[in-house]
C-alpha cells in the first residue's frame, strides 16, 4: 500500500474522523493531520476559495503552523499569503465567520486566490511524504499504520 493510500485510510478511521471531537481539543499531532488533510483535499478540489468556504474553516487558523511543523515552509508561505489576501483584516475568529466572508469574496480576491492555487498545485513540498513521516513519528496518536 502506498503512503497516500495509508493516509487516506487513516483519515477515514474513527481516530481521526472530523466531528468525533472538537478540533481545539485534539492533540497537536491530530490537529496537524486534520488541518493538512482538509487543506490539501479542499485546495486540490476547488482552490483556496473552496477551502475557506467549506467546513475546513475550523482548522484553517492552524494550517500554516501545521505546514511549518511538518517541514513545508514554502507551502506554509503560500497558505499564509492566501489567508492574508482573502481576509485583509485577518482571519475571522470563528469557522462560521470564515465561511460567511468566503461566500462573499469579490472577483479581485478570487483572482488573487487563483494565482495562489497555481503555486500550491506546483507542490513546492511533497506533502504526502512529509505528512506520512510526521504521522509515523507520532504513531502513538494514530495507532498502528499499515506497511508502506
| Predicted pLDDT at 142 | 79
Q: Is the CB of residue 78 less than 8 Å from the CB of residue 120? A: yes
Q: What would the pLDDT profile of 68-121 be if each residue is shown by its tens digit?
A: 999 999 999 999 999 999 999 999 988 889 999 999 999 999 999 999 999 999
| Predicted pLDDT at 56 | 73
Q: Is the CB of residue 67 less than 8 Å from the CB of residue 120? A: no
pLDDT at 32 over 70: yes
C-alpha cell at 23: 478540533
At 19, the pLDDT band (50, 70, 90 cuts) reads: very low
Q: Is the CB of residue 48 less than 8 Å from the CB of residue 86? A: yes
Amino acid at each position: 500500500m502506498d503512503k497516500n493510500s495509508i493516509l487516506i485510510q487513516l483519515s477515514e478511521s474513527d481516530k481521526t474522523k472530523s466531528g468525533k471531537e472538537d478540533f481545539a481539543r485534539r492533540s497537536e499531532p491530530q490537529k496537524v493531520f486534520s488541518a493538512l488533510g482538509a487543506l490539501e483535499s479542499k485546495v486540490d478540489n476547488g482552490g483556496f476559495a473552496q477551502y475557506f468556504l467549506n467546513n475546513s474553516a475550523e482548522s484553517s487558523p492552524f494550517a500554516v503552523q501545521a505546514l511549518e511543523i511538518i517541514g513545508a515552509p514554502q507551502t506554509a508561505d503560500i497558505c499564509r499569503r492566501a489567508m492574508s489576501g482573502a481576509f485583509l483584516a485577518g482571519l475571522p475568529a470563528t469557522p462560521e465567520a470564515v465561511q460567511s466572508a468566503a461566500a462573499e469574496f469579490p472577483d479581485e480576491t478570487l483572482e488573487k486566490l487563483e494565482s495562489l492555487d497555481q503555486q500550491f498545485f506546483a507542490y513546492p513540498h511533497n506533502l504526502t511524504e512529509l505528512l506520512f513521516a510526521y504521522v509515523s513519528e507520532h504513531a502513538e496518536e494514530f495507532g498502528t499504520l499499515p506497511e508502506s
